């Protein structure tokens, strides 16, 4: 049985890297791989305790997968010293893994590194894929990542409520929202267990430019995007050019027509079909 060790972590803006790594781990296990996951930050280990493992298992890995929002050079070097093949997801660093897989060209890996690039490699959680496509629905979901440091979610919820929309604000586990609910005219959920259901039941949404955006696209939901980083802004801009978003930036928020929602929904689902994990495993197997 081949062994895969995944090294992942979250960032200041959320836990998308960890969430998708765990999704990838589950798919690898279904394919018969022995999988261990090392989450490097204490915060991440608290939120995903069942998938934490010792870094000592790195020594026995046939494949090391690195999914970090910062440099992974240390782990590329360690993996290659142990005779493992190394795959980087959206890799950041100066050393070259054996393969980099990314949903767009981030320009953060050495140019000489072999790469597979495209939205077809987007990793989508199983509970989202199980509900996809889910075109249609009622109301607006606002979900600006796991942290929403700038509190754009609250601002967007207030703005859209002012437009007469039925709004549900879904806050991630790292979001520091206002303590008081007084005066709010929208629904607020803090890290709910039924988040996939809430996302699938909405008509359209507002997201960050990372994992949540891609999940909504897989569901076939038309969305506005409020980027939290330059990389998110760049990716959202590329997707907007392909007609798969309603708009990018807080100032772009408005109530779209049914025709706009339908057109964007169909295009979004075409670009993100939920089969990214399978394609990543296929690419990984070529390294063995």
For the chain, the structural domain boundaries read: 3-123+275-285, 127-271
Asked if 3-123+275-285 and 127-271 have one fold, the answer is yes
**202-242 per-position pLDDT tens digit:** 999 999 999 999 999 999 999 999 999 899 999 999 999 99
pTM, to two decimals: 0.93
> Backbone phi, then psi, for 72, in 5-degree steps?
-110, 15
Q: To which CATH superfamily is domain 127-271 assigned?
A: Glycogen Phosphorylase B; (3.40.50.2000)
CA distance 72 to 95: 8
Asked if pLDDT for residue 182 goes beyond 70, the answer is: no
Task: Write out pLDDT tens, residues 56-112.
Answer: 667 789 999 999 999 999 999 999 999 999 999 999 999 999 999 999 999 999 998
Assigned fold of 3-123+275-285: Rossmann fold (3.40.50)
Per-residue model confidence (pLDDT) at position 180: 46
> Angle CA(9)–CA(15)–CA(20) in degrees, nearest 5?
80
| Cα–Cα distances in angstroms (integers) from residue 274 to residues 25, 119, 123, 127, 217, in the given order | 15, 10, 7, 11, 9
């Amino acid at each position: 049985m081949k062994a895969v060790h995944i090294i992942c972590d979250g960032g200041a803006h959320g836990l998308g890297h960890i969430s998708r790594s765990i999704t990838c781990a589950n798919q690898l296990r279904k394919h018969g791989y022995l999988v261990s996951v090392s989450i490097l930050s204490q915060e991440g280990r608290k939120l995903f305790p069942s998938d934490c493992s010792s870094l000592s298992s790195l020594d026995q890995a046939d494949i090391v997968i690195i999914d970090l929002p910062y440099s992974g050079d240390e782990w590329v070097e360690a993996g290659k010293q142990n005779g493992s093949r190394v795959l980087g997801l959206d890799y950041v660093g100066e050393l070259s893994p054996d393969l980099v897989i990314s949903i767009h060209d981030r320009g953060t890996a050495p140019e000489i590194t072999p790469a597979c690039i495209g939205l077809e490699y987007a990793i989508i959680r199983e509970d989202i894929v199980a509900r996809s496509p889910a075109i249609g629905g009622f109301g607006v979901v606002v979900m600006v990542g796991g942290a929403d440091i700038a509190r754009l979610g609250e601002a967007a919820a207030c703005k859209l409520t002012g437009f007469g929309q039925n709004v549900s604000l879904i806050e991630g586990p790292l979001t520091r929202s206002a303590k008081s609910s007084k005066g709010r005219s929208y629904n607020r959920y803090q890290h709910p267990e039924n988040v996939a259901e809430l996302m699938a039941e909405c008509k359209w949404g507002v997201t960050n430019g990372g994992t949540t955006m891609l999940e909504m696209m897989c569901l076939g939901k038309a969305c506005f995007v409020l980027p939290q980083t330059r990389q998110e802004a760049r990716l959202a801009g590329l997707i907007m050019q392909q007609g798969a978003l309603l708009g990018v930036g807080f100032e772009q928020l408005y109530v779209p027509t049914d025709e706009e929602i339908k057109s964007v929904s169909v295009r979004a689902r075409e670009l993100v079909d939920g089969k990214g994990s399978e394609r990543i495993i296929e690419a990984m197997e070529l390294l063995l």
